[in-house]
A and B are shown apart, each in its own frame.
Chain A
Amino acid sequence: GAGVSQSPSNKVTEKGKDVELRCDPISGHTALYWYRQRLGQGLEFLIYFQGNSAPDKSGLPSDRFSAERTGESVSTLTIQRTQQEDSAVYLCASSSGARSYGYTFGSGTRLTVV
């Protein structure tokens, strides 16, 4: 597609439920990233996929968080047993992997855990 697509755009869920967020990157972009921004905080790195390499999961805040990516296409971020502190805007970005180019971000998923 022309840009990075994320769905859903908004999600309200009850504490304890599982949620799945989807990211469809720009075709041909080998690198895919998940970040989140909680209220009043900066952009926080979660996970990074680069081609067929093992993902960098160093930013995942707990084992309730996991992410998958099939090849160089769609990625899903899953949060199990959601907690109120998981409420945030979850942003996905993709890039060609070339370090001279910036990321292209999706519009994000606003997750609210009630």
Chain B
Amino acid sequence: ILNVEQSPQSLHVQEGDSTNFTCSFPSSNFYALHWYRWETAKSPKALFVMTLNGDEKKKGRISATLNTKEGYSYLYIKGSQPEDSATYLCAPFSGGSNYKLTFGKGTLLTVNP
């Protein structure tokens, strides 16, 4: 079982603010890192799958970076909007034939209008 830490646990920002949060994971045996967004009363949706050290991915106002050597990933949201309010989950995958993700507890983001 991988030890996955996400911080902060929750975050309140004002509309228009930019924000970021962290996912820490074991750097040994790293294969990939997934980010998901989980809105209340909906199902989690995949945002990014990242595999390479130094990788940066972007989708609209959301971007993520990956440091596999030190075992962390940052998720950034530029100009937060109320519709960005959700729990953001990260899940590292350490490889092997069993493709099973271990999820962090998530960061709950609330964007106030």
User: Do chains A and B stick together as partners?
Assistant: yes
How many pairs, one residue from A and one from B, have CB atoms within 8 Å of each other in the complex?
57
State in angstroms the CA–CA spacing of A33 and B91 once bound together: 14
Whether the Cβ atoms of A91 and B99 lie closer than 8 Å is no
> Distance in Å from the Cβ of A49 to the closest Cβ of chain B?
11
- Chain B residues within 8 Å of A50, by CB: 98-99
Interface residues of B, dominant DSSP: loop
Partner of B44 from A31, A41, A100, A105 at Cβ < 8 Å: A105
* B51 contacts partner chain A, Cβ-Cβ < 8 Å: yes
A residues at B contact (CB < 8 Å): 4, 31, 33, 35, 41-43, 45, 48, 50, 56, 91, 93, 95, 97, 99-108
- Chain A residues within 8 Å of B12, by CB: none
> Distance in Å from the Cβ of A10 to the closest Cβ of chain B?
11
Given pairs A45-B101, A50-B98, A102-B46, 14 additional interface contacts (CB within 8 A): A33-B100, A35-B103, A42-B103, A42-B105, A45-B103, A48-B99, A91-B43, A102-B34, A103-B44, A104-B46, A105-B44, A106-B43, A107-B42, A108-B43
